[in-house]
């Protein structure tokens, strides 16, 4: 599988929006390192009110999610942030994140 881009959206519960933003403005260094080790790169998060748009590149998303699912640092991070979103952080699920189909790309 060649490099691909993946994107999805999540809504953050209103009472957690500012805390969620603050966590992502200063993410734990080990979280950044684990995502890089998993093969995730060019990862961005954009905000529209309480809706957040996530986009990253990865050569093997299944292997990346498997790696992150086994990461102690990611489990600690997800224990904090999972209560904030309307969605699943359980990377062990068959489809924890519903990726958006790409309809246009200008390289």
Residue 47 included in any domain: yes
Q: Is residue 101 part of a domain?
A: no
Domain carrying residue 22: 4-84
* 104 occurs within a structural domain: no
58 inside domain: yes
* Average pLDDT along the chain: 91
Q: Is residue 74 classed exposed, middle or buried when 0-12, 13-18 and 19+ CB atoms within 10 A define those classes?
A: buried
Residue 74 belongs to some domain of the structure: yes
Number of domains composing the chain: 1
Q: pLDDT: is 89 or 47 the higher one? A: 47
Tokens of 74: 């990611």
- Spell out the residues 6+ positions from residue 40 whose beta carbon is closer than 8 angstroms to its own: 56, 57, 58, 64
Instruction: Grade residue 86 by pLDDT with cuts at 50, 70 and 90.
Output: confident
Q: Is residue 64 a part of any domain in this protein?
A: yes
97 is a domain residue: no
pTM greater than the 0.85 cutoff: yes
SS3 96: coil
**What CATH number did the domain enclosing 45 receive?**
3.30.70.100
- Residue 81 pLDDT exceeds 70: yes
Within-domain flag for 106: no
Residue 29 has pLDDT above 90, yes or no: yes
């Amino acid at each position: 599988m060649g490099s691909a881009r993946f994107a999805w959206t999540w809504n953050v519960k209103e009472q957690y929006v500012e805390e969620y933003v603050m966590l992502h403005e200063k993410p734990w260094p080990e979280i950044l390192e684990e995502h890089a080790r998993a093969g995730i790169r060019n990862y961005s998060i954009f905000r529209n009110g309480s809706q957040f748009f996530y986009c990253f590149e990865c050569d093997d998303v299944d292997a990346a999610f498997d790696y992150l699912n086994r990461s102690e640092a990611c489990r600690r991070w997800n224990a904090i942030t999972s209560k904030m979103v309307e969605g699943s952080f359980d990377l062990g699920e068959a489809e924890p994140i519903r990726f958006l189909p790409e309809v246009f790309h200008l390289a």
